[in-house]
Amino acid sequence: MSASDFQLLVSDDWGDYQLLDSGDLRKLERFGKVRVNRPDPQAFWKPKAPVDSWKADAVFSAKTDDDDRGAWTFIGKQPPEDWPIAWNGLKLNARLAAFRHMGVFPEHSVHWRWAMEQVQAAKRPIKALNLFGYTGVMSLALAKAGAEVVHLDASPKSIAQGKENAGLSGLDGAPIRWITDDAMKFVERELRRGSKYDVVVLDPPKFGRGPKNETWQFETDFPKLLDHTRTLLSDNPLFVIATVYAVRLSYVAVGQAVAGAMKGGKVTAGEMAIRESAGRDVVLPTGLFARWTPS
């Protein structure tokens, strides 16, 4: 990899999501009609308006500075359990979930759009595997573009919400297999079966547990999963996307790990970010990514 292979991918293509303000280690966002105030360790600067003046419907307070666990409190009327938002013709439910999550990572729109473009441009049948697929927006984007998708996540709740999102988007009949399983175990079974995929998407956590209490440790398991990914690719692969959060690595390390596993092709790596809409030139970095293509 060279310096020219670095990209800052900024998500700014939403109508139903805005980063309204950020700073003092917090961020004010709008998901549809609901405003939320959440902690964010990357918001290391001063906000445009003081945090205590932000007008939010819900505020998440973490138990400790380095812990995602905590609780939501509500300002005025409590928002509904979930509510619809839309992106690029896809409809999905946002919700105030545990660990300060909202049921969607808005910064991933840069990958959803790019993946759709790649699948549509291929003009051939594409088989995709979405590992750690969460609530399924990438799977819906791939299916909408024409791919056959295997969506995997260890959380039954995430799988259920993914199916809900498919129904909201009019894709409940799309060729998506929704599977609750441990990612490593599933991939190793696919290798034994000789299964092949043209596209693999990975969004692994720093630490996780499978449905049968299997453990995932990023530092030890991610390199192994990348090696398996290379073996899973078809003879005419289209791309691999890996996104990484909450680890003490740079985009260079992630990109070189992907490049080393793929053994050829082109890797672009960098950071994902969201553009603030507060009338100043601020982007909030959110995570790392690496993309591999065969050329």
Structure tokens at 271: 């950071």
Distance in angstroms (rounded) separating the CA atoms of residues 264 and 180: 32
Q: What is the pLDDT of residue 90?
A: 98
Q: What is the pLDDT of residue 3?
A: 57
Q: What is the residue-level pLDDT of the chain in tens, covering all 295 positions?
A: 665 589 999 999 999 999 999 999 999 999 999 999 999 999 999 999 999 999 999 999 987 655 567 899 999 889 999 999 999 999 999 999 888 899 999 999 999 999 999 999 999 999 999 999 999 999 999 999 999 999 999 999 999 999 999 999 999 999 999 999 999 999 999 999 999 999 999 999 898 888 888 888 999 999 999 999 999 999 999 999 999 998 889 999 999 999 999 989 999 999 999 999 988 999 999 999 999 999 9
Q: Answer for the pair 96, 73: CB distance below 8 angstroms, yes or no.
A: no
Alpha-carbon distances of 194 from 64, 180, 228, 239, 276, rounded to whole Å: 45, 20, 12, 19, 45
Listed residue (140, 88, 152, 138) closest to 241, CA to CA: 138
Q: What is the pLDDT of residue 276?
A: 96
Q: Answer for the pair 113, 88: CB distance below 8 angstroms, yes or no.
A: yes
Q: What is the pLDDT of residue 2?
A: 63
Neighbours of 200 (CB within 10 A): 25
Neighbours of 262 (CB within 10 A): 21
pLDDT tens digits, one per residue of 201-250: 999 989 888 888 888 899 999 999 999 999 999 999 999 999 999 888 99
Q: What is the pLDDT of residue 260?
A: 96
Distance in angstroms (rounded) separating the CA atoms of residues 92 and 71: 23
- Give all domains of the chain, ordered by start, each with its CATH number: 3-8+88-92+102-293 (3.40.50.150), 14-83 (2.60.40.1180)
Q: What is the pLDDT of residue 66?
A: 56
